[in-house]
Structure 1
Amino acid sequence: MTDQPSNFKRFVEVGRVVLLTSGPQAGHIAVIAEIIDHNRAIVDGPTTGVPRQSFPYRHLTLTPFVLTKLPRAAGSGIIRKHLEKEGTIEKWNKSAWAQKREAVEKRRKLNDFERFCVVLAKKQRRDTVRKAVKKASA
């Protein structure tokens, strides 16, 4: 065994905040409450509407957030207290990752007229920037 540093920064562990990538709660975040085996974990999202359930790792994405000192097999109440105490949901909502997902979702829900308005706004912004650059270089 060599003592080389690991390239991995995020590990499957109790208390790890995960993003669900499939199923009815896809796009919601939850917390790993217990590790079942090498393929599945019990996840729970008491504040995000994710019921306590077994979930395969291949349908989870590990986030950089971890609940510190969360006991193994903690119940929903304890997980809720830790989430609120550490402000993890607020940290997630402020992260660039969550904001990007929200922007993509918002863009996906636009109707035809709203997409047209976005095109006009981009043209207007591009024109304003072009004129400002031309004025600054002159």
Structure 2
Amino acid sequence: MGYSRFVEIGRVCLVNYGPLNNSLVVVVDVVDGRRALVDGPGVKRQMVSFKRLSLTNLKVEGFVHSATAKIVKKQWEACEIEKKWTESTWAKKLAQREARANTTDFQRFQVMINRKKRSQIINKELAKMKKSA
């Protein structure tokens, strides 16, 4: 199977660097070989380098290049991009990473204790199975 994530009008991207980090945007127009004009919910229309964009499999259909912010917002909602994004494994991994980064010392301690308890239970059951076999 060939590569299917191309920079194109309507491609949804994740900003991976800078003040817009982890924001979803849609490519409205390709400026040149290095930059694109992007727009999205909570993001002002601006030019962003391709180095700062991670292309997703999602695409917003129904508008031509340099469409207004109103049209982009309307098509964004019609395609249910937010819902599709939250269901993707990529978004789930980012949410899990953020949740782990925001844990307190006590929460990390509780996770360690629960892991130990789980492994003890597994080892006991495994020993029973080996003994009976």
TM norm. shorter chain > 0.5: yes
- Which of 62, 73, 80 lines up with 2:66 in the alignment? 73
Q: Which runs of 4+ in 1 moved over 6 A?
A: none
State the partner residue of 1:41.
36
Percentage of identical aligned residues: 35
After superposition, give the CA deviation of every residue in 1:15-41 in whole Å (9 maximum; x if it has no partner).
000000111110111100111110000
Aligned length: 131
Q: How does 1:27-106 map to 2 (within 5 A)?
A: 27-46=22-41, 49-106=42-99
Q: 1 CA distance for matches of 2:52 and 2:34?
A: 10
- 2:52 partner amino acid: H
Structure 1 gap segments, 5+ residues each: none
TM-score by length of 1: 0.86
TM-score by length of 2: 0.89
Q: 2 CA distance for matches of 1:136 and 1:86?
A: 51
How far residue 135 of structure 1 moved from its aligned partner, in angstroms, is 4.4
Q: 2 CA distance for matches of 1:27 and 1:42?
A: 17
Q: 2 CA distance for matches of 1:117 and 1:55?
A: 42
- 2:84 partner amino acid: K
State the partner residue of 1:118.
111
Q: Is 2:24 the counterpart of 1:24?
A: no
Structure 2 gap segments, 5+ residues each: none
